Structures are given as structure tokens and as C-alpha cells.
């Protein structure tokens, strides 16, 4: 097959390399800062990259603010322009497409596969994110995780995996979750648990606070209750769980760590992507 790998981080570069090793023809675009094998052309024109491609691979997430997600490129490519460059019948694969992009793609007679909807990829990506988050927590704090007090905001895939791994490392973990069943499950697994309404009285007691919720769960007033030595780690997509600029302005140690699998485990992340891409192709061919 012929693949066009367009945009993305180190995961995309590794994926392109894996596809090449499998004997496929691979072209790339908007990856000029990436380390790629010499056999993969770095096309300067999107049209030449996607021409005759059976499958066009976009990043995870595919877009940010209506533009292609391309952190390894100086290129700013609006998603409508990308869709216009593709040919009817081509398979467009990526993660977390906006509804508007999907609508435009279908109108252009493209086949669309959002691989982040595949459970095996979503769970694997969550596991890699949790592992990368633990690495950041260790690197950015003078405290050990063992016997530290950690608050994990959210009980989705990433929140659950992260909380349990921290617990296994000896941290004293509290999970914040809206659902009664989620809080009950957290307690059954040996964690403390509370509703978001119960955060204010206890926020000052944590050494680490990790957010996995893509919504503001920590208000401005709540940030003022956090001890200055604590580390706030943001894993969720915008708008995130707290105002990072405000947190920094009041002297808190706050940092965003989005797209961790592409930074901390690009090889493993690319192998997950490769399996998901092949599965999506097989389903389209059936």
C-alpha cells in the first residue's frame, strides 16, 4: 500500500518507519523536524504527498483549533485545505476528528476512520499516558512518590490507570470522581475517593495533583488553597482542569503534559497506532 503520513509528533515519525519496514510505500508532509529514514520522502507539497495514497494518516489528535496538529513543522495547514487536497475514495485515518472535519471529508467522498474510537488503542494510549505522567512527576518534584499524597482528578481511562499505578508505588492516592459508582470502585481498590464538591477542605494537603478532566474542576479560589510546593500536572486537553497561567502567577508549580506517549514512548505508541491503522484498513475492505 501507499501511505501519506501528514503532521504529528514523534509517534507519527515512528509509525512511518514501521510502515516502511512492512514493505509499504510511505511519503511524509509537515514532519520536516522529525527523524525519518532516508527512504521516506519529505514532500514539500501536500498534494504530492497524498497523490495516489491509499491511506492518509493524520495525528492524534488530528487537529487543534481548526488546523492540522503538526508540532514538528512550521507549516500551518487549515483542515479545510487538507481535505480539499485529498482524492475521492481515499481513506483518512486519525484521532479525534471534529464533527466539521468529518462532515467535510464525507462530502469530499473520503472514507474516514477515527482510530481513537477503537477501545484497544484508547486503553493502550491511556496506559502509556499514565506511565509518562509518573515519569514527569518523579522528574519534576524533589519528593518521592512513595508515601506522598496524590490527588487524581477524574476516573476515566487515564485517571483509573494512573491512580492504581501510583497506589502500587506506595503513594497515598485520592481519586476525585462525580459518579457514586466510580467513587465506590476507587475505595474498593484501596484508594480514598471524594466528589468534586469536597475538594476545597483538603486541597492543601496534597503533594501532587494530576488532572485528567477536560473541564475546569479547580476554580481560581481553589488554586489559592494548594500548597506552593505541590506539583500540578495537566494531562487533559483544553480547556484543562485549571488555569495554568493563574497557577504560575500565584507561585504554584504547574505544568502541562499533553501528548505524553509521543514524547516519552514514541516507539510503543507507534506500534499501537500501527495495529489500529491496519485494523481500520481491514474493516474498510470488508
The pLDDT tens digits for 66-91 are 999 999 999 899 999 999 999 999 99
Write the DSSP string, 211-274: E--SS--S-HHHHTTS-TT-EEEE-SPTT-SS-HHHHHHTT-EEEE-TTHHHHH-HHHHHHHHH
Task: Tell me which CATH code domain 2-115 carries.
Answer: 3.40.50.720
Q: How many CB atoms lie within 10 A of CB 285?
A: 7
- What topology is assigned to 122-262 in CATH? Rossmann fold (3.40.50)
Does the pLDDT at position 153 exceed 70? yes
124 contacts: CB under 8 Å, gap ≥ 6? 272
Assess whether pLDDT exceeds 90 at residue 285.
no
DSSP per-residue string spanning 31-60: -TTS---TTS-B-SSHHHHHTT-SEEE--S
**Global pTM value:** 0.91
Mean pLDDT of 190-205: 96
Is the pLDDT assigned to residue 286 strictly greater than 70?
no
Spatial CB neighbours of 224, under 8 Å, sequence gap ≥ 6: 250
Q: How many helices, marked H, and strands, marked E, lie in the chain? A: 11, 13
Query: What's the CA gap between 59 and 115, in Å, rounded?
Result: 10
Question: Which tens digits make up the pLDDT trace of 5-58?
Answer: 999 999 999 999 999 999 999 999 999 999 999 999 999 999 999 999 999 999
**Pairing outcome for strands 67-68 and 63-64:** antiparallel
* 2-115 against 122-262: fold identical: yes
Nearest to 228 by CA among 200, 256, 242, 247: 247
Where are the domains positioned within the chain? 2-115, 122-262
Amino acid at each position: 500500500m501507499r501511505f501519506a503520513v501528514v503532521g504529528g509528533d514523534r509517534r507519527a515519525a515512528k509509525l512511518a518507519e514501521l510502515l516502511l519496514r512492512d514493505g509499504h510505500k510511505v511519503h511524509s508532509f509537515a514532519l520536516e523536524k522529525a527523524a525519518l529514514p532516508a527512504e521516506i520522502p519529505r514532500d514539500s507539497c501536500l498534494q504530492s504527498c497524498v497523490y495516489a495514497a491509499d491511506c492518509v494518516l493524520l495525528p492524534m489528535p488530528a487537529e487543534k483549533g481548526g488546523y492540522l496538529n503538526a508540532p514538528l513543522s512550521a507549516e500551518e495547514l487549515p483542515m479545510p485545505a487538507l481535505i480539499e487536497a485529498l482524492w475521492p475514495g481515499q481513506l483518512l485515518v486519525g484521532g479525534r476528528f471534529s464533527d466539521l472535519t468529518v462532515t467535510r471529508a464525507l462530502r469530499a467522498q473520503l472514507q474516514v476512520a477515527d482510530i481513537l474510537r477503537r477501545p484497544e488503542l484508547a486503553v493502550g494510549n491511556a496506559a502509556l499516558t499514565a506511565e509518562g505522567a509518573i515519569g514527569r512527576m518523579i522528574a519534576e518534584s524533589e519528593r518521592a512518590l512513595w508515601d506522598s499524597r496524590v490527588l487524581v482528578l477524574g476516573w476515566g481511562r487515564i485517571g483509573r490507570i494512573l491512580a492504581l499505578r501510583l497506589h502500587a508505588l506506595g503513594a497515598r492516592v485520592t481519586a476525585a470522581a462525580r459518579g457514586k459508582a466510580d467513587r465506590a470502585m476507587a475505595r474498593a481498590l484501596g484508594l480514598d475517593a471524594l466528589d468534586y464538591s469536597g475538594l476545597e477542605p483538603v486541597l492543601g494537603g496534597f503533594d501532587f495533583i494530576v488532572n485528567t478532566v477536560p473541564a475546569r474542576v479547580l476554580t481560581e479560589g481553589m488554586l489559592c488553597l494548594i500548597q506552593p510546593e505541590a506539583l500540578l500536572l495537566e494531562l487533559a486537553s483544553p480547556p484543562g482542569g485549571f488555569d495554568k497561567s493563574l497557577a504560575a502567577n500565584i507561585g504554584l508549580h504547574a505544568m502541562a503534559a499533553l501528548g505524553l506517549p509521543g514524547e516519552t514512548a514514541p516507539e510503543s505508541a507507534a506500534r499501537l497506532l500501527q495495529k489500529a491503522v491496519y485494523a481500520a484498513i481491514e474493516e474498510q475492505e470488508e
